[in-house]
């Protein structure tokens, strides 16, 4: 299994985001949480800030849109060069059309599911996606504990991806530490978003390396 580590800048120092992006240059991508204060009860940044940060980032951007009207706003993030754009299934009116639009715009298409949203209604569209994100906390705020009740859903999603033959990344986001990453990896996740466990560490590159080692201990690796 190839393990991808995507530190979330939601846990970074907002006053020095350019430097905070450079600090995670050993990661596979930066996870960029865009929140509108409506889909989730928090507000972060929008397209102009993401576009400028993208221009100075040493790593690709994995944009996670926690916003309403995803069909309307998501394509713009692909158009400014973000390598991966993930929308929430709960916020998309036409998820297949949106995924195709993102791909046509040059980005990988991802779809996210809240902890209580079942994966089964979306299994037929796996081939339309490059990534499926299973939220392992309620979206909106960093620093929350990992919800073990999501592990069965991760297992079902991993089995469905394998059965579909789709070349699909299975990402998890929320409460990822060197302990919980192993449980998520054993369930079949291949990409891990980590916020406070990376940016809260004294040695950020060592924290990223530690997460990689922990995930590699899974029999799935």
Domain ranges of the chain: 4-216
In this predicted model, what pLDDT tens digit does every residue of 128-146 receive, in sequence order?
Answer: 999 999 999 998 887 889 9
Task: Answer whether 0.85 is exceeded by the pTM.
Answer: yes
Yes or no: say if 93 and 162 are a contact pair by the CB < 8 Å rule.
no
Over residues 10-55, the pLDDT tens digits come to: 999 999 999 999 999 999 999 999 999 999 999 999 999 999 999 9
| 221 pLDDT higher than 70 | no
Among the listed residues 219, 200, 203, 176, the one whose alpha carbon sits nearest the alpha carbon of residue 4: 176
CA-based radius of gyration for the chain: 16
Could you tell me which CATH number the domain at 4-216 has?
3.20.20.70
Q: Burial level of 47, CB count in 10 A (0-12/13-18/19+)?
A: middle
Residues belonging to the active site: 33, 173
Asked whether 108 and 83 are in contact (CB, 8 A), the reply is: yes
CA quadruple 61, 64, 67, 69: dihedral positive or negative?
A: positive
Query: What confidence tens digit (pLDDT) does each residue in 68-100 have?
Result: 999 999 999 999 999 999 999 999 999 999 999
């Amino acid at each position: 299994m190839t393990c991808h580590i995507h530190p979330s800048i939601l846990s970074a120092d907002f006053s020095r985001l350019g430097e905070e992006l450079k600090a995670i240059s050993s990661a596979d991508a930066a996870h960029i949480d865009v929140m509108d204060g409506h889909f989730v009860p928090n507000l972060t940044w929008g397209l102009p800030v993401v576009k400028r940060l993208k221009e100075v980032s040493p790593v690709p951007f994995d944009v996670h849109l926690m916003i309403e009207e995803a069909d309307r706003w998501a394509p713009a993030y692909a158009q400014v060069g973000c390598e991966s754009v993930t929308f929430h299934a709960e916020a998309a009116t036409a998820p297949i059309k949106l995924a195709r639009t993102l791909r046509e715009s040059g980005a990988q298409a991802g779809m996210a599911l809240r902890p209580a949203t079942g994966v089964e209604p979306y299994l037929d569209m796996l081939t339309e996606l490059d990534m499926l994100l299973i939220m392992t906390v309620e979206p909106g705020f960093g620093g929350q504990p990992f919800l073990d009740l999501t592990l069965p859903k991760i297992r079902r999603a991993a089995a469905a991806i394998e059965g579909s033959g789709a070349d699909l990344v299975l990402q998890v986001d929320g409460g990822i530490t060197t302990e919980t990453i192993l449980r998520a990896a054993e369930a079949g996740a291949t990409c891990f978003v980590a916020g406070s466990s990376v940016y809260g560490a004294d040695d950020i590159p060592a924290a990223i390396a530690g997460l990689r080692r922990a995930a590699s201990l899974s029999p799935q690796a």
